[in-house]
Amino acid sequence: MIKKGHGAGRWEKGEELVFVALGGLGEIGMNMYLYGYGSQDARQWMMVDCGITFPEGENDPGIDVILPDVRFIEENRDTLTGIVLTHAHEDHVGAVIELWPRLKAPIYATAFTAGMLRAKLAEYGGGLELPIHVVPLDGKFTVGPFDVELVTLAHSIPEMSALALRTPAGLVFHTGDWKLDEKPLIGDPLDVTRLSSLGDKGVLALVCDSTNAYREGTSPSEAEVAQSITEIIGGAGGRVAVTCFSSNVARIKTVWAAAQATGRDLVVAGRALHRVISVAIDTGYLPKSFKYLDQDQFGYLERSKVVLLCTGSQGEPRAALARIAEDEHADISFAKGDLVIYSTRAIPGNEKAVGRIQNSLAAMGCALLTDSDALVHVSGHPRRDELRQMYRWMRPQVVVPMHGEARHIEAQAALAREMGVRDVFPVLDGEIVRLAPDPAVIDEAPVGRLFRDGRLLIPESDGPVHERRKLSYVGIVVVSICQSPRGEVLGEPQAILDGVPQETADGEAMLDVVLDAIDGTLKSVPRQRRKGQNLVAEAVRRAVRAAVGEVWGKKPICKVLINVIDE
């Protein structure tokens, strides 16, 4: 399956190394990057990551998940030589199961990332089988024209693997999501000499995480967070709940260790946490001695003898914490004097949902502790001093900032220029950058978003979500009129109002306003012309919208059905 590449081979005339993102540059999430190598009409591609993002509240009604539109690579599927996954966060692997049938390329991932993907596949894959090649940590392998070397970096999940990509045109370092952490709690500390030796050999391009590019300083270590959480739990008198991202194995380990250190039993609630814990024990990131009680034990434990680790840190309405906050959890209840620690930060767009749950907990009398009160969370992304350090190691000729909204990407671009990098490309999704020779933006690939709508994947531009948005603002009036083939109105026209106020300010029924408008219009259209059903429908539609608009100040959507009934 693994073919010999020519990473160290000769650079033939006309061959180019290019980079393009189908997601990840311009909005948070949905990371999907492509590297291409070869002459313009014979490029071979390698995909790095295949992630999802989530809709922001009411903007995309009815949509659970957003995926990148992959038509650019789908149209040239036979040129896609492989999909390499840097780590198991949903914004990097969440679209694999749904999009793989359109891509059909071999997948490369380390054991933990592969384990997480397989656990999800077993739950949601519907029998789909994926050709996952498990590659060793810090391993080397070949994907099409790319010689790939993995470099483990610290992040908020185990086995975050940066990629050193060797091609005849030069070496690219694709960081993935990373931070510098001397005491990451999970995995080995950073191998500094390895990074600086990559720089010594010469790095053509650095493609680098921009998430925290305008936060000054250096992120605290995971070990400092652990110490702080342990102290807080030690000082608590009642029950303690900790909620964090379920994939943050270091944090799970911290809460477990803190429970042991403070003489409390650990209870775990939430399916996503159970899944991660099982994969982490299998891959050695949690000890075999990692034990916890199931949630049905919670009620039997003394208040001062329990720590609950639970899902729901992002305000997810069906997760454990949301149900606890509404006092609707079958096994777990919290009350006055108990403490809830948010060992996390709300992803932009989730703040309102998180706030609602925090309000319910506060109303119950629970104390809340978030990362603005104490060191209970640290981001997994590099701040400016960490970025500077990476530049000093890599000394790249080209920088492409990735993983962020436009403002984050611009912030890192400015920093890169400050650090003396010659060619900086703060590009957005779809812009194709030639990394070598002659770095430049050379072309544009079609990009977009796919909505998961129930069981279907629909392009954002297809419309149903746009229509739903409009419906949510103005509601709808549906009118039904029966006519004879000669254009006589049969019976009474009917109307249904949905999402429209029932009464006007004067107390008149809105339905009557609608029916009067219909009658008036039908009377004013001469019978001869009523045979033109589209014309009648359009006249009624306009009249209804105008009449309702006059008393409401807003015009509803109006649909008119004309049924011609043979006598």
| Residues lying near Zn ion in the complex (CB under 5 A) | 89, 91, 177
Burial classification of residue 263, based on how many CB atoms lie within 10 Å of its CB (0-12 exposed, 13-18 middle, 19 or more buried)? exposed
One-letter amino acid of 221: S
In the complex with Zn ion, the residue whose CB is nearer, 44 or 247, is 247
Min CB(559)–Zn ion separation in Å: 43
Closest-CA residue to 188 (of 153, 222, 161): 153
Min CB(86)–Zn ion separation in Å: 8
Q: Is 470 helix (H, G, I), strand (E, B) or coil?
A: helix
DSSP-assigned states of every residue in 181-219? -S--SSSPPP-HHHHHHHHHH--SEEEEE-TTTT--S-P
Min CB(428)–Zn ion separation in Å: 17
In the complex with Zn ion, the residue whose CB is nearer, 89 or 545, is 89
Min CB(28)–Zn ion separation in Å: 8
Min CB(505)–Zn ion separation in Å: 51
Answer whether 55's CB lies under 8 Å from 63's CB: yes
Answer whether 429's CB lies under 8 Å from 435's CB: no
In the complex with Zn ion, the residue whose CB is nearer, 142 or 247, is 247
Min CB(154)–Zn ion separation in Å: 11
HSE of 493 in the Cβ direction (CA atoms, 13 Å)? 29
In the complex with Zn ion, the residue whose CB is nearer, 108 or 298, is 108
Q: How far apart are CA 459 and CA 450, in angstroms?
A: 4
Q: How far apart are CA 473 and CA 58, in angstroms?
A: 11
39-69 residues labelled b (16+ CB within 10 A) or e (exposed): eeeebbbbbbbbbbbbbeeeebeebebbbbb
Min CB(91)–Zn ion separation in Å: 4
Min CB(443)–Zn ion separation in Å: 26
Taking only Cα atoms into account, the Rg of the chain, rounded to an integer number of angstroms, comes to: 29
Pairing mode, strands 107-109 and 80-84: parallel
In the complex with Zn ion, the residue whose CB is nearer, 154 or 544, is 154
Q: How far apart are CA 450 and CA 448, in angstroms?
A: 7
Closest-CA residue to 29 (of 350, 338, 386, 478): 350
In the complex with Zn ion, the residue whose CB is nearer, 92 or 545, is 92
Min CB(176)–Zn ion separation in Å: 7
In the complex with Zn ion, the residue whose CB is nearer, 37 or 178, is 178
In the complex with Zn ion, the residue whose CB is nearer, 89 or 449, is 89
Answer whether 459's CB lies under 8 Å from 69's CB: yes
In the complex with Zn ion, the residue whose CB is nearer, 30 or 269, is 30
Which pair of structure tokens corresponds to residue 517?
Answer: 């408008």
DSSP-assigned states of every residue in 132-162? EEE--TT-EEEETTEEEEEEEEB-SSTTEEE
